[in-house]
Amino acid sequence: MNRKEPEKMKTYIRIQNMLAQLKESERGATAVEYGLIVALIAAVIVALVAAVGSGVKEGFDTVNGELTKANTN
């Protein structure tokens, strides 16, 4: 065994350990998943507000019209 082999072995083991840590790390994937969930929830909220918003506006317009009629009579 020559002198460089133990150094090569240490380097090899260090690289293996780093790769194992990267493989076990799921923080990035979890952040992406949470981001997708938040985007989906935001899209649903926007759709609900758009759908319900026009109905609410019509309701307020009706009430406003009836109050205006009541005041003029």
Q: What is the pLDDT of residues 21-70, one digit of tens each?
A: 766 666 667 778 888 999 999 999 999 888 888 788 888 999 999 999 88
Q: What is the pTM for the complete model shown?
A: 0.46
Q: Which two tokens stand for residue 55?
A: 């109905």
* Nearest-5° Cα angle at 28, 24 to 33: 115
Which amino acid is present at 41? I
Which pLDDT score, from 0 to 100, does residue 3 have? Answer: 65
Which pLDDT score, from 0 to 100, does residue 7 have? Answer: 81
Which pLDDT score, from 0 to 100, does residue 43 have? Answer: 93
